[in-house]
Every structure is written in structure tokens, then in C-alpha cells.
């Protein structure tokens, strides 16, 4: 494993000694919607990647298949030191069914999720949204990532097509642009503030 | 990142963690912050990976970062971290409990920080 030594954090990649708390936001969405791009645009470190092996038989790819098989699920992530004592982690995972079990564990304790949408393939996001609503209670905001050939749908039409609740935020963004990506995070955290589960002030 | 080595040895994670597949502490999450305890030398019986892990944590890092730098899965690194915390070589920096959501005060601080970016 030569990579372990060459990938060693260089000075500055460790968190400041004042950081004593971490929070996380998930970035989910279908293949190629721009999850890694958005994370890279806001992260203070180069996005990192970690892989997990999961047993496909246990996550419902082939329920009738007695021979367990394994598959690898990659997670890209980045980090922002938002205050001198809080680090915000952004974890990006794909939206396929076989990854959902991995997600629900990831969702525990999360502030919320950004659900990235590509309007050229709107239907790819239906299942992601369904599963997020069914399997987790976490706040989410829908982020419409703009590609050069994206159709010019008004956001309210996208909202209707996705059957979003009236209170669910939906915003456009250019995932490559830092300020645009930061705005999506602000939108999500503002939305999370309205959720009763976060009302309690930690001691 | 080289994950081939791991992929080629499906039983490796069990061997490395002395046969236990689950971390003893279910409080460890990918975002949990860990740091080496400087005054505590790593036991001579510790393996190369454990030493490397403690070495990485000379400053604060999240579990997921440690996993990425070691090119190992988060679930495996959680087991190693858990053992190293028990051995006194690592300390958990993040002072919140698993399952406890951040309070509104924390969200407000995050918002303030994001608005300043
Ligand atoms: N024009 C434009 N291109 C983008 C934008 N966001 C991402 N891309 C491009 O779209 C491609 C896919 O982006 P990624 O960030 O890798 O998408 P992903 O969701 O991480 O993809 P997977 O991890 O494979 O599911 C890349 O070539 C990006 O450069 C955007 O906002 N505008
Ligand atoms: Mg990606």
C-alpha cells in the first residue's frame, strides 16, 4: 500500500486544534449529477475518497441469490472549518438502490442532505427522493445543477415534476462555483433550522 | 488511491481486526474527530497499520479522513480506532454523543460561518 504514505496529510490538512466538534451534510444524487464537483468547490481540502465493501445479497440486489457477492461503494467527501471550533463534513454518495443501506447509517446525526438533480434526466432522481423521504427523516434541499444543455425549466415546474412539499427548498446552482455551492449549503441549514428535532440547544 | 490490495483479500479486514467485524463503540461515525495522545507510546505489539494510524493523527482528523489516507474502508478503520482509544493511544475529539443531533445554537454558528465564506 504505497499510497498510504504518499497520501499522508500534509501540514494544514489536520484540523486546527480549536476544532472540537464535527457536523455533516450528505450530498446525494444520481450518477454524474455533480456531487464531487460541488464538494470540491467548497472543500478546504482536496476531496478525499473512501470505499466500503458491501455484501450485495444483504442489500437486495439479488434476494433469491444464495451466493453472497460483494460490491464496492465509493464515498467522496470534503471539509469546511466553518467556525474555529466546528468542522462541517460533506459526504457524497451515489443514489442507487444498493447504496441506500450504507446511506441510512450515514444519515444518522446529519444536519441534512443536498439532493442534486440534473434536469436532463429528471426521472433518475425520483427514486433517490422517494428513498430519502421513506428511509430517513433528515431535512433536504433540492439542488438543480445547471449544465450547458440543460432545458430551461422554471424551478416551480421542476418542483411540481418532483412532487416536492411546498416547504422543501429548491435552488439552482453551478456546482463548479464556490459561492453558488455555498449558497446551497446555507439554504439547507436554514431549512434544517425549521425542524423541531434541531430546536434543542446542546449543553 | 490503491484499493486493489484490499479488494484482492476479502478476509483481510477480519484478520486485521482479530476476527471482529464490528467496532466495540457504536459512537464512531465517519465524521467523528480523533487525535493521537502524544504522551502515550504505541504498544510494541501494535501492528504496522495501527502505528501508521496513530502517526496520521498527530493532528485532529475525522475517521473518514483517516480511512481515506490509509486507503481502507471506514468500517475497518472504526474498529482499529476503537481499539486504539481503548489502549489510550487515541482520543475522541468531538465532544458530542452519537445519535445526538446538533442543536439550533450549533446550526446558527454553522450558518454564520457559511455566510462568511
Ligand atoms: N457545466 C457544468 N458541468 C458540471 C457541473 N457540475 C459537474 N459538472 C461536470 O459533470 C461531470 C460529473 O460531475 P461529478 O461531480 O463527477 O458528478 P458525481 O455526481 O460526483 O458523479 P458520480 O460520483 O460518478 O456519481 C464532470 O465532468 C463535471 O465536470 C456544473 O455545474 N456545470
Ligand atoms: Mg462523484
- Tell which wins on pLDDT, A26 or B44: A26
C-alpha cell at B109: 454558528
Alpha helices (runs of H) in chain B, residue ranges in sequence order: 4-8, 12-16, 48-56, 63-70, 74-86, 104-115
Decide the pairing of beta strands B90-92 and B33-36: antiparallel
Domain boundaries B22-115, corresponding CATH code: 1.10.10.10
- Tell which wins on pLDDT, A196 or B21: A196
* pLDDT exceeds 60 at position B11: no
> What pTM value is reported for the model?
0.86
C-alpha cell at B46: 501494535
Enumerate the residues of chain B whose CB falls inside 8 A of the CB of residue A14: 58-61
CA A161 from centroid of its chain's CA atoms = 21
Sorted by where each begins, the domain ranges of chain B are 22-115
Asked whether A51 and B3 are in contact (CB, 8 A), the reply is yes
* pLDDT exceeds 50 at position B14: no
Alpha helices (runs of H) in B42-73, residue ranges in sequence order: 48-56, 63-70
Contact A79 B101 (CB under 8 A): no
- Tell which wins on pLDDT, A89 or A95: A89
Contact B7 A48 (CB under 8 A): no
Chain A residue with the nearest C-alpha to that of B105: A201
Distance CA A171, CA A135 (A): 23
Average pLDDT over residues A40-60: 81
Sorted by where each begins, the domain ranges of chain A are 25-198
Average pLDDT over residues A119-133: 88
Distance CA A108, CA A60 (A): 21
Q: Which helix (H) or strand (E) holds A2?
A: helix A2-6
Average pLDDT over residues B105-113: 96
Alpha carbon distance, N-terminus to C-terminus of chain B: 30
Any CB–CB contact under 8 A between A126 and chain B?
Answer: no
pLDDT in tens, A144-183: 999 999 998 999 999 999 999 999 999 999 999 999 999 9
B69 closest CB neighbour out of A8, A79, A83: A8
Chain B residue with the nearest C-alpha to that of A48: B68
ipTM of the complex: 0.86
A108 closest CB neighbour out of B74, B99, B107: B99
Tell me which CATH homologous superfamily contains domain A25-198. P-loop containing nucleotide triphosphate hydrolases (3.40.50.300)
Q: For chain A, what percent of residues have pLDDT higher than 90?
A: 60
Strand, helix or coil for residue B76: helix
Query: How far does the centroid of ligand 1 lie from the alpha carbon of residue A87, in Å?
Result: 25
Amino acid at each position: 500500500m504505497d499510497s498510504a504514505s504518499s497520501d499522508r496529510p500534509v501540514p494544514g490538512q489536520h484540523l486546527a486544534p480549536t476544532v472540537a466538534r464535527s457536523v455533516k451534510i450528505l450530498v446525494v444524487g444520481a450518477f454524474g449529477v455533480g456531487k464531487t464537483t460541488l464538494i470540491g468547490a467548497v472543500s478546504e481540502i482536496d476531496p478525499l475518497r473512501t470505499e466500503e465493501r458491501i455484501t450485495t445479497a444483504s442489500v437486495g440486489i439479488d434476494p433469491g441469490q444464495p451466493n453472497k457477492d460483494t460490491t464496492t461503494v465509493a464515498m467522496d467527501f470534503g471539509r469546511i472549518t466553518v467556525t474555529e471550533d466546528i468542522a462541517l463534513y460533506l459526504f457524497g454518495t451515489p443514489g442507487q438502490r444498493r447504496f441506500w443501506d450504507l446511506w441510512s447509517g450515514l444519515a444518522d446525526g446529519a444536519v441534512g442532505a443536498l439532493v442534486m438533480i440534473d434536469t436532463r434526466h429528471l426521472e433518475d432522481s425520483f427514486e433517490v427522493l422517494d428513498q430519502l423521504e421513506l428511509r430517513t427523516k433528515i431535512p433536504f434541499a433540492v439542488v438543480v445543477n445547471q449544465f450547458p444543455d440543460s432545458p430551461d425549466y422554471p424551478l416551480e415546474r421542476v418542483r411540481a415534476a418532483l412532487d416536492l412539499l411546498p416547504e422543501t427548498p429548491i435552488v439552482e446552482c453551478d456546482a463548479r462555483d464556490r459561492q453558488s455551492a455555498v449558497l446551497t449549503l446555507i439554504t439547507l441549514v436554514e431549512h434544517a433550522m425549521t425542524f423541531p428535532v434541531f430546536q434543542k440547544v446542546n449543553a | 488511491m490503491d484499493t486493489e490490495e484490499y479488494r484482492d483479500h476479502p478476509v483481510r479486514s477480519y484478520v486485521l481486526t482479530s476476527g471482529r467485524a464490528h467496532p466495540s463503540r457504536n459512537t464512531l461515525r465517519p465524521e467523528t474527530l480523533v487525535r493521537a495522545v502524544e504522551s502515550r507510546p504505541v504498544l510494541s505489539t501494535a501492528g504496522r497499520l495501527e502505528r501508521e494510524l496513530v502517526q496520521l493523527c498527530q493532528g485532529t482528523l475525522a475517521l473518514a479522513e483517516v480511512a481515506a489516507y490509509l486507503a481502507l474502508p471506514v468500517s475497518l478503520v472504526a474498529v482499529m480506532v476503537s481499539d486504539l482509544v481503548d489502549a489510550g493511544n487515541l482520543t475522541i475529539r468531538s465532544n458530542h454523543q452519537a445519535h445526538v443531533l446538533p442543536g439550533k445554537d450549533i446550526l446558527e454558528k454553522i450558518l454564520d460561518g457559511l455566510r462568511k465564506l
